[in-house]
Amino acid sequence: MTSLTDLLLLGREKDLASERGVSCTGELPEASDPTLVARAIAARSSLGARAMVLGHHYQRDEVIQFADITGDSFKLAQAAAENSTAEFIFFCGVHFMAESADILTSNDQKVILPDLAAGCSMADMATNQQVRDAWKEFERLNIAQKTIPVTYMNSSAAIKSFTGENGGTICTSSNAERAMRWAFEQGEKIFFLPDQHLGRNTAVLKLGLNLSDCVVWNPWKPNGGLTDDEISNAKVILWRGHCSVHGRFSVENIDEVRKRIPEVKVLVHPECQHDVVRNSDVVGSTEMIIKTVAQSPAGSKWAVGTELNLVKRLAANNPDKTVVFLDKTVCYCSTMNRIDLPHLVWAMESLAEGRLVNQIKVDEKTAHFARVALERMLALP
């Protein structure tokens, strides 16, 4: 059965494709094509040093095998910013990541997203108009001038642009603590968006604030569902957004896995809910999760609360350890999973034939302040 989310994503794919004059309908290789891997190798070889393939950790193995660099959103943003030679960058991730790569690379470089429907439900939870409407309320309360926006990488280019325009910075799960400390050095309050859980967990568990110091702004309610006093007294105003994958993990999952696997340690991403993070043994970014498992002693046991493609890869790469998915039910990131080998082959073969498809291009006005915010992030220690 097709879900409402899938239908919306399919609609977005058609809209984006139409907007860019691009369509891959009927052009994709069959997923069962036995020559698919050979075709991918041939296409990648023909492009040579003209192209670079970036692969996010949540991608399928069939895609990751062709990535020149793998990493989380922070590492891949750095890789895009540091590369000045590749003419084409294939971003095997989601839409907001490809936008960031376009913003950070030169005008001569072109960023390609193999499937335009590879979006992010969290990023879609904060629109440019909603965020600017919230800011107008902050201006009405005379708190905007002392409020610093800190925006998670999982956001649109327009939201990043708003952040740069208003003196803020971007962050990832790797550097959220440093970004928020920087923000408090610049002002008295933080407007954290769009992931409430990362903002709350960082504020309370890393910066030592109280839960009562944080309020949640609901864009679907007048005044964010808050009183003027609640907004004025808060130290951190959290946007009402979340990750559909990490938000599903629960304390019940933790209790169940601890009963089922004696001496297991629970390792989760900071996008998880606050009570899940508090009841886990280790909390960290995607890169930290990988390093924690890799550097742990043989025989150690881990229940990992993050995207399933990564957990399966961790288990395969660490056969001397027990690595299981924290939730017993299967949950891939549905939008990340849209980047598959047929789409990557189609995009590479098209380029090899002289046809540029699915280019992600951010308009210069939006890109200017988004670049300011991203460069502030990259400059953080």
Indicate if the pLDDT at residue 336 is higher than 90: no
Question: Looking at residue 330, what is its pLDDT?
Answer: 63
Tens-place pLDDT, residues 293-327: 999 999 999 999 998 888 999 999 999 999 999 98
Structure tokens at 174: 């790797």
By percentage, how much of the chain surpasses pLDDT 90? Answer: 73
By percentage, how much of the chain surpasses pLDDT 70? Answer: 92
Indicate if the pLDDT at residue 232 is higher than 90: yes
Total count of residues recorded for the chain: 381
Tens-place pLDDT, residues 246-275: 889 999 999 999 999 999 999 999 999 999
Residue 10 has a CB neighbour count (10 Å cut-off) of 13
Question: Looking at residue 19, what is its pLDDT?
Answer: 44
Residues with Cβ within 8 Å of residue 20, at least 6 apart in sequence: 116, 358, 359
Asked if 126 and 219 count as a contact pair (C-beta separation under 8 A), the reply is yes
Task: State which of 11-20, 74-83, 153-162 shows the largest mean pLDDT.
Answer: 153-162
Residue 97 to residue 160: CA distance in whole angstroms: 12
Report which DSSP code applies to 41. H
Cα 218 to chain centroid distance, Å, stands at 21
Q: What is the pTM of this model?
A: 0.85
Indicate if the pLDDT at residue 135 is higher than 90: yes
278 compared with 11, residue with greater pLDDT = 278
Residues with Cβ within 8 Å of residue 319, at least 6 apart in sequence: none
Question: Looking at residue 26, what is its pLDDT?
Answer: 60
Question: Looking at residue 328, what is its pLDDT?
Answer: 75
All structural domains of the chain, each given as residue ranges with its CATH number in brackets, are 4-120+335-362 (3.40.50.10800), 123-243 (3.40.50.10800), 246-325 (3.40.50.10800)
352 compared with 123, residue with greater pLDDT = 352
Question: Looking at residue 355, what is its pLDDT?
Answer: 95
Section 223-231 average pLDDT: 98
Question: Looking at residue 331, what is its pLDDT?
Answer: 67
Question: Looking at residue 338, what is its pLDDT?
Answer: 84
Indicate if the pLDDT at residue 15 is higher than 50: no
E-assigned strand segments in 26-114: 51-56, 69-71, 88-92, 110-112
Return phi, psi of residue 332, to 5°: -90, 160
Please report the sign of the dihedral spanned by the C-alpha atoms of residue 92, residue 96, residue 99, residue 101.
negative
The average confidence (pLDDT) of the chain is 90
Q: Strand 359-360 to strand 110-112: parallel, antiparallel, or no bridges (unpaired)? A: antiparallel
